[in-house]
Amino acid sequence: MQKSKKIVILGHFGVGKTSLIRRFVEDSFSDKYKVTIGVHITKKVVEVNADESVSLIIWDLEGTDEVQMIRQAYLLGTHGVVFVFDVSRPSTFQNLNRDLEIVAQKTPDTPLIVVGNKKDLVINDELQILLKDNGIKADYLTSAKTGDSVNEMFTHLATLLNDLS
Amino acid sequence: MTSLKQYKEQYINQNIQFVLIDQEGTILESDQTFIELNLGDYIYELHPFFATYSAFLDISDETMTYNCVHLEFNEKEFITDVKMMKKGKLVLLVIYNLTGHYNSYQQIAQARNESIINSELVVLKNLELEERERFKNAFIRNFSHELRNPLTSIISITKLLEGSKLNNEQSQMVDFLKESNTNLKLLLDDIMSISMIASGKLQLRNKIFSLISLLELIDFTYRSKTNGGAIRFKMDYDKKIPEFIEGDRLRVFQVLTNLLDNALKFTEEGTITLNVSLNQKRANKVSLRFEVSDTGVGIPSEKTNAIFESFIQLESEGKKEGAGLGLSIVKGLVGLMGSEVHVKSELGKGTTFYFDITLTYALDLASKPIDRAKKKNPDISKLKADKKYKVLLVEDDERTQMVLFKTLMDTNFFYIDLVNDGALVFETVINNSYDIILMDVDLPNVSGDQITKLIREFPFKNIKKIPIIGVTANVFEESIEDYLSLGMNAVVTKPFDFDELLNTMVKFLK
Ligand SMILES: Nc1nc2c(ncn2[C@@H]2O[C@H](COP(=O)(O)OP(=O)(O)OP(=O)(O)O)[C@@H](O)[C@H]2O)c(=O)[nH]1
Ligand SMILES: [Mg+2]
């Protein structure tokens, strides 16, 4: 039977959560920003190996600068979390480590992937220095715009969740 | 009463749908208010949101509310609140259609988020601009600093060349060389001024000086400059302006000459005027208006702001040499004096620059200062003719070494020893008796200011008291003051004028 896994995408507003999902699910991108309110849910089946696939149920949450305020109902039954920040806007990662702690408390024992998005907007060398200076370890640096590392990130998470169960 | 009930049905019930499912997610009942559901279908196949019902079954809560959930059915989007309630072995879903309400909320959130992000981007952009500006200034400062050493040598060598036997053609070439040197030095000074003003490192040094004699100096200079040409220079001032004022004489001079040079640059024929008038006089404050007008090409109105930017040169006809630094220096200096330069211009007719400054003026003429405006030739008569003074030259730059060595030797007043490594200076000083030390500050190993400090701390008077003149390419006032406080008697900046250096030496030689 195909396993079904719920993942939630968290992060400050405007960091590109919706765009990452759109790139992954529809392979498209728009420069226009439409603020997400509440939650949008989409599904995509991911092949994790030759004879297994996982049905990812992706919860695209509205952005918030107060992670503490995320509605608990949205997190119910979550198998995996993706926390996205915007590499071009320091305000979205200034308190990243504190944000991640809160997320970990809210979703205990749940794999968490940290993603720095919009890498197309910055110079890689400068970005590495910036991350280092802020004590940030990102699992993936992505661009929803160019598609860079987007599939890899979601597929990695799907594989991880498949292996865990 | 029946009608009210009807309305209630109409308005509320149309937006609330009740659905009953079992533990497998099979739809058992639905009132079909706004979503058509087929009984017997699995609810999670209708929309992935509903897959969450199984997680709800796993927890102990009896009800759970999901706010603001986007649901799509048959290509129609609803924004809903969904309530799940455990009813025995079944689950009751209550779906509230709040699309209208949430759409207005979305618009507010949209406006809010966009404005926050925009203001963040503005801040980031400004930071980046500031950073770039800082970088530019530091770059310019270092760059001009580096140019000073070679320029000092060029100027001094030119001077040596001038004093050697030359035929007509050669001495004409030396004249050209001298003129280019002067221009280059002025340009370098301008660049330094700009970067110092921009980085806030330039401070005004206010002292009492004679404004009238400053104006007369300018009058004399520009009359000579325009003599015999198609341009006439006119200087005029209100006879009621005070003779002595407190201000930075050098900077006032710099502002006025920059404006006048700019006028000369853009005027083919006609008149250039400097006018100083009195706005008002109160207590010991006086407000003066300085005005420089020309009959030149004029400035298009859209460019009147741009001309004060560094490195902008009007591209119109009458294109002349120069990096266009003069006016931005004027703007910076007048700004430091607490005022602002204004410009009035008419294309083809001419331009007037003016600014008002308020200054303190000296009521008491007893405070009349000694006029140092006239530059004296070095007064070597003070030196003892029968004596040769021992000079220690501490300098690591070979060109500067050579130039200083030769020029000092040529006066016949000096014996010169040379040290080019900071570490060797102290030893040399102790083992000889020098009359004066010329100390380059930027030395390898131990810097000149540190050596000075060591010498001043030495226990024996004959060593401790040796006059030390600092020679440096560092023209920042703080640095110069630092050197003086460490015990240098004077500091001469590169590119130096040999006469100035000699004058300074004479002052400290016995
Ligand atoms: N250059 C660039 N722009 C991106 C990228 N990802 C998203 N954007 C832009 O960033 C803006 C916000 O993207 P969204 O995907 O709506 O961001 P979000 O995190 O879903 O925002 P909220 O729903 O408000 O939390 C949009 O204008 C996108 O076009 C990226 O990788 N590169
Ligand atoms: Mg979004």
* A64 CA closest ligand 1 atom index: 25
Q: What is the mean pLDDT of residues B499-507?
A: 85
Q: Which residues lie closer than 8 Å to B314 by C-beta, 6 or more apart?
A: B266, B297, B299, B303, B307, B324
In this structure, are strands A80-86 and B16-21 parallel, antiparallel, or unpaired? Answer: unpaired
pLDDT at B314 over 80: no
Is residue B51 within 8 Å of A57, Cβ to Cβ? yes
Range name among A117-126, B59-68, B192-201 with the lowest pLDDT average: B192-201
Q: Percent of chain B beyond pLDDT 70?
A: 91
- Give the residue among B290, B274, B214, B288 at the shortest CA–CA distance from B248: B214
pLDDT at B319 over 50: no
Most confident of B57-66, B374-383, B435-444: B57-66
Q: What is the mean pLDDT of residues B22-28?
A: 96
Tell me, what's the pLDDT at B318?
Answer: 43
Ligand 1 binding pocket includes A16 (Cβ within 6 Å): yes
Is residue B71 within 8 Å of B78, Cβ to Cβ? yes
Task: Please give the residue of chain A at the shortest CA–CA distance from B77.
Answer: A40
Interchain pair A77, B56: CB under 8 A? yes
Domain residue spans in chain B? 16-97, 129-199, 207-361, 380-508
Residue type at position A27? D
Mean pLDDT of chain A: 94
Distance separating alpha carbons of residues B232 and B237, to the nearest angstrom: 17
Tell me, what's the pLDDT at B147?
Answer: 84
Residue B317 phi/psi, 5-degree rounding, is -60, 165
Residue A88 phi/psi, 5-degree rounding, is -95, -5
Q: What DSSP line would sit under B316-341, residue for residue?
A: SSS--SS-S-HHHHHHHHHHHTT---
Nearest C-alpha to atom 27 of ligand 1 is from which residue? Answer: A33
Q: What is the mean pLDDT of residues B118-135?
A: 86
Ligand 1 binding pocket includes A65 (Cβ within 6 Å): no
Largest CA distance in chain B: 131
pLDDT tier for residue A141 given thresholds of 50, 70 and 90: very high
Task: Please give the residue of chain A at the shortest CA–CA distance from B50.
Answer: A41
Nearest to A89 among B48, B49, B120 (CB): B120
ipTM at complex level: 0.95
Range name among B233-247, B410-424, B493-507 with the lowest pLDDT average: B493-507
Is residue B435 within 8 Å of B390, Cβ to Cβ? yes
Q: Domain B207-361: which topology?
A: Heat Shock Protein 90 (3.30.565)
Helix (H, G, I), strand (E, B) or coil at A92: helix
Q: Which CATH number is B129-199 given?
A: 1.10.287.130
Among B67, B84, B119, the strongest candidate for a mutation testing the A interface, having the largest count of A CBs within 10 A, is B67
Entry pTM: 0.60
pLDDT tier for residue B458 given thresholds of 50, 70 and 90: confident
Range name among B60-64, B93-97, B358-362 with the lowest pLDDT average: B358-362
pLDDT tier for residue B362 given thresholds of 50, 70 and 90: low
Domain residue spans in chain A? 2-164
Q: Which residues lie closer than 8 Å to B290 by C-beta, 6 or more apart?
A: B255, B256, B274, B275, B276, B354, B355, B356, B357
Phi-psi category of residue B228: left, alpha or beta, with phi > 0 → left and psi -120 to 50 → alpha: left
CATH class, domain A2-164, is alpha beta
pLDDT at B250 over 80: no
Residue B91 phi/psi, 5-degree rounding, is -125, 130
Tell me, what's the pLDDT at B371?
Answer: 39
- Give the residue among A75, A97, A76, A88 at the shortest CA–CA distance from A117: A88
Tell me, what's the pLDDT at B1?
Answer: 54
For residue A89, the distance in angstroms to the closest alpha carbon of chain B comes to: 8
Is residue B375 within 8 Å of B367, Cβ to Cβ? no
Tens digits of residue pLDDT in A27-58: 999 999 999 999 999 999 999 988 899 999 99
Q: What is the mean pLDDT of residues B450-461?
A: 84
Q: Which CATH number is B380-508 given?
A: 3.40.50.2300
Tell me, what's the pLDDT at B477?
Answer: 63
Ligand 1 binding pocket includes B110 (Cβ within 6 Å): no
Helix (H, G, I), strand (E, B) or coil at A54: strand
CATH class, domain B16-97, is alpha beta
Among B117, B118, B132, the strongest candidate for a mutation testing the A interface, having the largest count of A CBs within 10 A, is B117
- Give the residue among B205, B75, B179, B157 at the shortest CA–CA distance from B403: B157
Range name among B225-239, B370-384, B451-465 with the lowest pLDDT average: B370-384
Interchain pair A6, B49: CB under 8 A? no
pLDDT at B374 over 50: no
pLDDT tier for residue B89 given thresholds of 50, 70 and 90: very high
Q: Which residues lie closer than 8 Å to B107 by C-beta, 6 or more apart?
A: none
Residue type at position B386? D
DSSP secondary-structure letter at B382? G
Tell me, what's the pLDDT at B373?
Answer: 36
For residue A42, the distance in angstroms to the closest alpha carbon of chain B comes to: 6
pLDDT at B369 over 70: no
Task: Please give the residue of chain B at the shortest CA–CA distance from A70.
Answer: B67
Q: What is the mean pLDDT of residues B281-299?
A: 90
Nearest C-alpha to atom 22 of ligand 1 is from which residue? Answer: A13
Distance separating alpha carbons of residues B210 and B432, to the nearest angstrom: 46
Interchain pair B70, A39: CB under 8 A? yes
Q: What is the mean pLDDT of residues B168-197?
A: 82
Q: What is the mean pLDDT of residues B29-44?
A: 93
Range name among A87-96, B99-108, B264-273, B485-494 with the lowest pLDDT average: B485-494
Is residue A85 within 8 Å of A122, Cβ to Cβ? no
Tell me, what's the pLDDT at B474?
Answer: 64
Q: What is the mean pLDDT of residues B311-333?
A: 65
pLDDT at B350 over 60: yes
